[in-house]
């Protein structure tokens, strides 16, 4: 059995409720994966040495993609609005929205500003100011009209409102409250013995998990607190690239979720540091971040390559907590009687020899 297998659920890989590390020391090495992400780095994020990225650096970072020295700068809401509207307009063609296409040469992809303004029922000058980030006191009616013209999804509409509505502009940075997992929720994870389950935080942190989640996804308790983060693991760890059959889909979902949160809290310094770190260390992250796509992923199916039990096809449901919508309880399950169901049962049976210790929390 290799080191990577130990990380995925061999006996002894469970963690205890105190947050201490478990037996099976090889699991930490297997799941740290990316060079430069382990060690005694602080919560402001590591600093990479990669060259200038090929895509524009995120707002709030230096041209090389790193977060500025000292405290991470907040994301520039105006710049985010400019790029979001531009990229949404670029993805539409005249025929997509019922406009004639006379075959004239277009200097930019997608609709022209005057075409979008016509669809939204606003003047070209007004829409141009909005897309350039110079709109003031934009009404809800205008934003709704622009959203309809751009064919925005519900998540994209919410993102546009957060970026453009005056009520969200704050002159002073608001303190981001710490994330805490309620004791009752940790107990719920503990009694969910047959299915992998975990609680995810606002910046894709893994805040709490049960023994089956550790068996399927790796023992997060072996990692330093700041590295218990889905975005860091998926983009920087080779083990997680191997784990997800459709890695591209998982990566896209993570970036889209971070984008959605960034629209609500561009002043979050830990988010800025995370984006800066990933922009330096991952070309794929830079490319996906530059698309400005946003979406909510509340359910679906993931296919995994587990080193101990082989292929797994697991459905998942993500449920926002009623008293904290920035925490999501994610539960995976297999179709009853399927090979994946049998594989989960096998992993669970191996875990019965370990100490009864399931829910582990990290608070950020």
Confidence tier at 57 by pLDDT (50, 70, 90):
very low
14 shares its domain with 90: no
pLDDT at position 51: 33
Angstrom CA distances, 348 to 8, 192, 198, 207, 216, stand at: 12, 11, 16, 22, 10
CATH at 244: 3.30.450.180
- 347 versus 34: the higher-pLDDT residue is 347
33 shares its domain with 92: no
Last residue of a domain, one of 127, 145, 168: 168
184 shares its domain with 161: no
315 in any annotated domain:
yes
pLDDT at position 6: 44
Q: Which tens digits make up the pLDDT trace of 68-102?
A: 334 567 788 889 999 999 999 999 888 888 777 65
111 shares its domain with 138: yes
- 242 versus 15: the higher-pLDDT residue is 242
280 shares its domain with 312: yes
Please give the tally of structural domains in the chain.
Answer: 2
209 DSSP β-pair partners:
198, 360
Write out the DSSP string of 207-269. Answer: EEE-HHHHHHH--GGGS-GGG-BHHHHHHH-HHHHHHBTTHHHHHHHHHHHHHHHHHH-TT-H
Residue 149: pLDDT over 50: yes
Q: Which tens digits make up the pLDDT trace of 163-201?
A: 987 554 444 455 677 889 999 999 999 999 899 999 999
93 shares its domain with 118: yes
CATH at 147: 1.10.260.40
Last residue of a domain, one of 134, 168, 202: 168
Last residue of a domain, one of 168, 195, 218: 168
20 in any annotated domain:
yes
Distance, in Å, from the CA atom of 349 to the CA atom of 201, rounded to the nearest integer, reads 29
Structure token pair of residue 340? 């994946």
233 shares its domain with 203: yes
Distance, in Å, from the CA atom of 237 to the CA atom of 206, rounded to the nearest integer, reads 15
204 shares its domain with 111: no
192 shares its domain with 156: no
All residues at 6 or more sequence positions from 139 whose CB lies less than 8 Å from its CB, including other chains: none
Q: Which domain holds residue 158?
A: 77-168
| In the chain, % of residues over pLDDT 90 | 55
- Angle (deg, nearest 10), helices 124-131 and 113-120: 110
12 shares its domain with 86: no
Q: Quick check: helix, strand or coil at residue 44?
A: coil
All residues at 6 or more sequence positions from 198 whose CB lies less than 8 Å from its CB, including other chains: 189, 206, 207, 208, 209, 210, 213, 217, 329, 330
332 in any annotated domain:
yes
Chain centre to alpha carbon of residue 333? 21
pLDDT at position 72: 61
The separation between the first and the last C-alpha atoms of the chain, rounded to the nearest angstrom, is: 34
Nearest to 31 by CA among 225, 218, 235: 218
237 shares its domain with 280: yes
Global pTM reads: 0.75
Q: Which tens digits make up the pLDDT trace of 271-284?
A: 999 999 999 999 99
218 in any annotated domain:
yes
Structure token pair of residue 357? 């210790």
């Amino acid at each position: 059995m290799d080191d990577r297998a130990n990380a995925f659920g061999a006996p002894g890989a469970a963690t205890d409720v105190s947050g201490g590390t478990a037996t099976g020391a090889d699991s930490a090495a297997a799941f740290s994966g990316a060079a430069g992400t382990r060690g005694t780095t602080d919560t402001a994020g590591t600093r990479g040495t990669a060259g200038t990225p090929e895509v524009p650096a995120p707002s709030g970072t230096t041209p090389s993609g790193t977060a500025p020295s000292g405290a991470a700068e907040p994301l520039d809401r105006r710049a985010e609005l400019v790029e979001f509207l531009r990229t949404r307009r670029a993805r539409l063609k005249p025929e997509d929205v019922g406009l004639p296409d006379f075959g004239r040469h277009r200097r930019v992809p997608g609709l022209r500003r005057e075409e979008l303004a016509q669809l939204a029922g606003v003047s070209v000058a007004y829409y141009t100011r909005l897309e350039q980030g110079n709109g003031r006191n934009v009404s809800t009616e205008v934003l709704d009209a622009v959203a309809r013209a751009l064919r925005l999804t519900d998540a994209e509409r919410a993102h546009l409102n957060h970026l453009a509505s005056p009520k969200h502009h704050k002159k002073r940075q608001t303190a981001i409250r710490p994330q805490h997992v309620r004791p009752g929720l940790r107990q719920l994870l503990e009694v969910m013995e047959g299915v992998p389950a975990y609680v995810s935080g606002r910046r894709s942190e893994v805040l709490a998990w049960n023994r089956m989640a550790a068996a399927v996804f790796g023992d997060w308790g072996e990692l330093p607190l700041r590295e218990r983060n889905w975005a860091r693991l998926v983009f920087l760890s080779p083990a997680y690239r191997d784990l997800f059959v459709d890695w591209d889909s998982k990566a896209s979902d993570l970036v889209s979720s971070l984008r959605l949160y960034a629209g609500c809290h561009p002043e979050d310094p830990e988010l800025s540091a995370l984006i800066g770190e990933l922009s330096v260390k991952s070309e794929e992250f830079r490319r996906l971040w530059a698309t400005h796509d946003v979406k909510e992923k509340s359910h679906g199916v993931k296919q995994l390559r587990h080193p101990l039990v082989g292929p797994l096809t697991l459905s998942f449901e993500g449920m926002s907590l009623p008293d904290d919508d920035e925490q999501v309880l994610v539960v995976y399950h297999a179709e009853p009687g399927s090979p994946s169901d049998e594989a989960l049962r096998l992993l669970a049976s191996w875990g019965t020899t370990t100490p009864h210790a399931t829910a582990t929390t990290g608070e950020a």
